[in-house]
Amino acid sequence: MFCVVKLKSIKFVLLVLIVGLLLALSFGGNPSAQVFFGYNVRLVPVYSVQTNNKQVAISFDAAWGAEKTEKIMSTLKEYDAGGTFFLVGFWVDKYPDLVKKIADNGLEVGCHSNTHPDMTKISRDSITSEITTCVNMIESITQKKVELFRPPYGAYNNTLIEVTKELNLIPIQWSVDSLDWKGISAEQITSRILSNVKNGSIILCHNDSDHILDALPMILDRLKGQGYKITSVGDLVYKQDYVIDRAGVQKPKS
């Protein structure tokens, strides 16, 4: 009886060790645990970047308005800051001269889909079409390669991430949400950003939010005062030999 019980205990310990090993492999990107348990590992975009440098990226989603865009560009230039504009296809079609001006000013242009749908509710083929249509429009105007994609509403699933990577784009979210689209004051926008920012943060703003023109100089001035270099997303992220952990932190492969 003692031998039987002891054997069962040994088998149980071995099973626990095997399961733990499989889970550890899964966290490192190995699909062993996925196969063993029959579940799908959730893919994630880049929310922030692991870096020791005092560097952050600021981004502006553009879909419906344009009149504040040029002032945003001039403010970025005044503070020697970079920036990324994630553009929707119908915005590109309506404001091609502004798209070119953004690129000509040394700022980055990323894709934000063609018609701004919830990408988790459309087919794989539609996802591909949404992205490639917008990318092709941007590239035909700027003559520069589009490298980044941000999903509308921040909505994503495995299919979207897979398609994005198949198209050689890096999927981008954000780690600091200004909430400028809610109509909050310039001081509130600035406070939200400064209280959440850290090395490698990606800041989300919008090009036509109510108080962005008042907030942006304060944001840039105070970030620079804290020693941060403010760049485009493309200048912050790793372009190759990287991994993205479950929290969306992009890291160089060790």
Report residue 68: phi and psi, to 5°. Answer: -95, -5
Task: List the catalytic residue out of 61, 112, 180, 208.
Answer: 61
Q: Exposure of 114 by Cβ count < 10 A (0-12 exposed, 13-18 middle, 19+ buried)?
A: buried
Q: Pairing mode, if any, of strands 48-49 and 84-87? A: unpaired
In this structure, the strands spanning 249-252 and 242-244 are: antiparallel
First-last CA distance in the chain? 49
How far CA 200 is from CA of 47, 50, 51, 84, 232, in Å, comes to: 9, 6, 6, 15, 11
Q: Spot the catalytic one: 112, 180, 206, 208.
A: 206
Is 214 an active-site residue? no
In angstroms, the CA 62 to CA 43 distance is 25
> Can you read off the two tokens belonging to residue 135?
């990318």
Q: Is 118 a catalytic residue?
A: no
Catalytic residues: 61, 206
